[in-house]
Amino acid sequence: MLYEGDFRTPAGRFALVAARFNAFVVDPLLAGARDALARHGVPDDRVDVIRVPGSFEIPLVAQRLAESRNYAAVICLGCIIRGETDHYDHVAGAATHGILNAGLKSGVPVIYGVLTCETLEQAIHRAGAKAGNKGFEAAVTAIETVNLLAKLA
């Protein structure tokens, strides 16, 4: 037997946790994620947007939302750009591990739509310019994972 997620309209609500830091990149990711959900038949009234200060704050909030059992999936959106200090490594590492742990702890798909980039140009390319929109991709991944888990239940 092969089990695979599909892209049919899933049941349930979706949470989008989006950082305000680097909002000019995160806002297009958010728009991309909303667009992907709408195109897959998830109406706007089943989508909640939760803004947090920065990517470092995403895991705590994502975990709280996932553990509430109110959401089929939690989609995390942020943008971390390497600067001149090692701050990037700490924020990126904490956000990445925290988002992974929120999913593992809750059993609810918590999707990683956080850009970790060397330059602002790379980030812009991944937020709808040359390299697609990672927010759109994160929402499609959420739908596939929700539908896969439903099949495995």
Which residue, chain included where needed, has tokens 């310019």?
129
Kindly tell me which residue out of 2, 83, 84, 130 binds ligand INI, with binding defined by CB under 6 A: 83
By beta-carbon proximity to ligand INI, the closer residue of 13 and 64 is 64
Q: 134: burial class by Cβ within 10 Å (0-12, 13-18, 19+)?
A: buried
Amino acid present at 8: R
Kindly tell me which residue out of 15, 73, 81, 102 binds ligand INI, with binding defined by CB under 6 A: 81
Under rule CB under 6 A, residue 18 binds ligand INI = no
Q: In DSSP terms, which residues pair with 47 in a beta bridge?
A: 14
Under rule CB under 6 A, residue 22 binds ligand INI = yes
Under rule CB under 6 A, residue 88 binds ligand INI = yes
Q: Which of 40, 87, 90, 125 is catalytic?
A: 87
Under rule CB under 6 A, residue 57 binds ligand INI = yes
Q: What are 81's two structure tokens?
A: 């750009």
Q: 71: burial class by Cβ within 10 Å (0-12, 13-18, 19+)?
A: buried
Under rule CB under 6 A, residue 112 binds ligand INI = no
87 assigned to active site: yes
Binders of ligand INI among 124-153, rule CB under 6 A?
Answer: none
Kindly tell me which residue out of 15, 19, 65, 140 binds ligand INI, with binding defined by CB under 6 A: 19
Instruction: Determine the Cα angle at 49 with ends 5 and 113, to 5°.
Output: 50
For ligand INI, the nearest residue by Cβ is 54
The Cα 58–Cα 50 span in angstroms is 10
Q: What are 68's two structure tokens?
A: 């509430």
Residues that bind ligand INI (CB under 6 A): 19, 21-22, 53-57, 78-81, 83, 87-88, 91
